[in-house]
Structure 1
Amino acid sequence: MEFAFDEKDFLACCGSTRFAAEMARASPFPSFQAAVPAARDIWFNRVDVSGWLEAFSAHPQIGETKSVAPGRSDTSAQWSKGEQSTALATATGSSLQELSDWNVRYKRKFGFIFIICASGRTSPEILAELKRRYSNRPIEEFQIAAEEQMKVTELRLAKLFSAKEHMASTVDQRPAGLAKKAEEVSSNKTSQSATRTRPPITTHVLDVSQGCPASGMEVCLEMWRGNKPRPLFGEAEVGGWILQGVSSTDKDGRSGQLMDIINEINPGIYRISFNTSKYCPGGFFPYVSIIFEIAETQKREHFHVPLLFSPFSFTTYRGS
């Protein structure tokens, strides 16, 4: 199967018209994994400086709503809202004002808004990163912003392909009357189902050596999208794991939002990784990764995968 998209689809992933046009010309793609190298080559080697700035300007600032430009889909605005949901949920009036003030300072120095892959990041995290990067030289910061833009683009490409795969897998080949009836039944079931109030996958970390929550531990969530249906034991595949979101644990040991709040999660194999060496220098584990599988029949369930950690041991379980 090949997946074909037009310029409008790719423009929702990256606000550069040159990028969207080049990706549309390269389409169709056999898989998301095949699209990512093409996207990186186009972004870093064929899009010029004005194209980078065009993409940067398509992003809203944290806490800001952005009107949809003529000829563009509102998909990008919806994705931006989802990507910034953790930041907005953890922001206060004063922190939003501080973010706004620092964005003004940043733009005055560099000439473009602060670009960061905000998915799963809290408002304090983003503000700290903005302040840290403010001290960079302009040429250095321009490259960092382009890398962050590529991270956002890859996350959105994953959503684009996931939606297309879902549509392809649910195409009903039955007679029109039966298909319509099935669609009506499915719609009724969906309308009667409760909407999630939190992401399908969550985690928290407890430091059992101190008997308290582990605060400030970096966490990332990935999904397996390799050429094989599942990763094989003892065999590595470069590019097989696709980032879904990153965050850090709060004072209660709970991570920020690692993925969008959706009613149905894509079945497959997921991996949560914890940066234990940064949290506990000198410990035995440089990092901890937990791999688990979500079946087709479980896509409406919630998966809480906590970590109980000490410098020389860890354990996990499926919570609620």
Structure 2
Amino acid sequence: MEPQWTEKDFLRCSGSTKLAREMAAAAPFADLDHAVQYARDIWFNKVDVKGWLEAFAVHPEIGATSKPISQWSKEEQSAAMATSGGSTMQELIEWNARYKEKFGFVFLICASGRGSPEILSELKRRFVNRPIVELEAAAEEEMKIIELRLKKLFDSKLRTSSSQTAQVSAGKHEVQKDRIGVIGGHLMAVAKVLSEKPTVTAGRTRPPITTHVLDTARGSPASGLEVRLEMWKGAQSSPSIAERDSRSWVLHGSSITNSEGRTSPLMAITDDVEPGFYRMSFNTGIYNPSGFFPYVSIVFEIRESQKSEHFHVPLLLSPFSFSTYRGS
């Protein structure tokens, strides 16, 4: 019997109503991997900052006892609770409060299998982040939690479906005994053929290289900013710091950032990105006419061993400074 999927099911995996609605509309999924990839695309490309905060708000603080905690949260925090000494847990509670006061949302971390000392150390490490950077880090951790909960959801649905199927089959067994024997023989033969076929893994749901731009001076996404992605195709194996020949950089794609500071795809969706040197350029002079930087170019290398990975290269911008980092 085919499992039934509802918006409420997916809301258990994430507090985002947007994600739950989109997942329920797309269900059923071929397998867990397909569901996870679909969820990643929704979470990072369709759910806005407000939706992220909506999802963060349903999570209890590590060690919290002031409000009801779901069974899944209890399971995810079990290692932390088992390794928490009195002083460690008290310190964790205090740092949780400091974190929430600074950033405005609960400290998000995929706690499954992590002890409280490790969680406390990570909280302290991330506490120094700027709010816009920490928001991105929290969103990444939330996605890890969503993946874990999707697996639990799939497991529970399959168990329920198998149980229901077994009950129906038992009730009809005597009436259909002979026919089931014939059909069963055919099914076993088909299953044998299918088991010999190689497993096909679903590909990417977004391009291998993505970006977004955040205006740290205004504390908001930077919209209307032109972005270009190019790849090095020069005679030399790598671009020199003195290289001035723009023809050696081949354009992959360009776009204008939207209201969320994100671009449309800068390259095609492919399972393996071509290894080499890439340059992402931002027309910051038009965005900040009175700023110090007429444009910003970020050059990075993708190695052969990394070609199946995802590279998120954001720009954190103000009129007189900028920074970047390797995201995922």
* Alignment equivalent of 2:142, drawn from 120, 125, 149: 149
Q: Structure 1 counterpart of 2:171, which letter?
A: P
1:129 aligns with 2:122: yes
Q: How does 1:257-272 map to 2 (within 5 A)?
A: none
Cα pair 2:99 2:106 within 8 Å, conserved: yes
1:167 deviates by: 2.3
C-alpha spacing 1:110/1:156, structure 2 compared with 1 (3 Å): same
Cα pair 1:2 1:31 within 8 Å, conserved: no
1:175 aligns with 2:171: yes
Q: Structure 2 counterpart of 1:36, which letter?
A: V
Question: What's the counterpart of residue 100 of structure 1?
Answer: 93
CA distance in 2, matches of 1:65, 1:176: 49
Question: What's the counterpart of residue 111 of structure 1?
Answer: 104
1:231 deviates by: 12
Question: What's the counterpart of residue 31 of structure 1?
Answer: 31
TM-score, with length taken from structure 2: 0.51
- Residues 175-207 of structure 1 show CA distances to partners (whole Å, capped at 9, x for unaligned) of 2899xxxxxxxxxxxxxxxxxxxxxxxxxxxxx
Cα pair 2:96 2:106 within 8 Å, conserved: yes
- Residues 237-291 of structure 1 show CA distances to partners (whole Å, capped at 9, x for unaligned) of 688xxxxxxxxxxxxxxxxxxxxxxxxxxxxxxxxxxxxxxxxxxxxxxxxxxxx
Q: Structure 1 counterpart of 2:99, which letter?
A: Y
- Residues 10-51 of structure 1 show CA distances to partners (whole Å, capped at 9, x for unaligned) of 111001111111111111212111111110111111111111
Cα pair 2:33 2:202 within 8 Å, conserved: no
- SS of residue in 1 equivalent to 2:170: coil
C-alpha spacing 1:42/1:238, structure 2 compared with 1 (3 Å): closer
Question: What's the counterpart of residue 17 of structure 1?
Answer: 17
Q: Structure 2 counterpart of 1:174, which letter?
A: A
Cα pair 2:83 2:115 within 8 Å, conserved: yes
CA distance in 2, matches of 1:156, 1:14: 8
C-alpha spacing 1:117/1:19, structure 2 compared with 1 (3 Å): same
Q: Structure 1 counterpart of 2:77, which letter?
A: Q
1:4 deviates by: 3.7
CA distance in 1, matches of 2:195, 2:133: 39
| Corresponding residue pairs, total | 181
1:230 deviates by: 10
C-alpha spacing 1:112/1:168, structure 2 compared with 1 (3 Å): same
C-alpha spacing 1:229/1:155, structure 2 compared with 1 (3 Å): farther
1:166 deviates by: 2.0
Percent identity of the aligned residues?
57
Q: How does 1:245-284 map to 2 (within 5 A)?
A: none
Q: How does 1:41-56 map to 2 (within 5 A)?
A: 41-56=41-56
Gap regions ≥5 residues in structure 2: 175-193, 204-328
Question: What's the counterpart of residue 64 of structure 2?
Answer: 64
C-alpha spacing 1:38/1:3, structure 2 compared with 1 (3 Å): farther
Kindly report the root-mean-square deviation, in angstroms, between the aligned alpha carbons of the 2 structures: 2.8
CA distance in 2, matches of 1:138, 1:237: 36
CA distance in 2, matches of 1:95, 1:103: 12
CA distance in 2, matches of 1:112, 1:47: 17
Question: What's the counterpart of residue 151 of structure 2?
Answer: 158
Gap regions ≥5 residues in structure 1: 69-75, 179-227, 240-320
Question: What's the counterpart of residue 138 of structure 1?
Answer: 131
1:162 deviates by: 1.1
1:120 aligns with 2:113: yes
- SS of residue in 2 equivalent to 1:64: coil
CA distance in 1, matches of 2:90, 2:197: 45
C-alpha spacing 1:33/1:236, structure 2 compared with 1 (3 Å): closer
Cα pair 2:34 2:202 within 8 Å, conserved: no
1:142 deviates by: 0.5
1:65 deviates by: 3.6
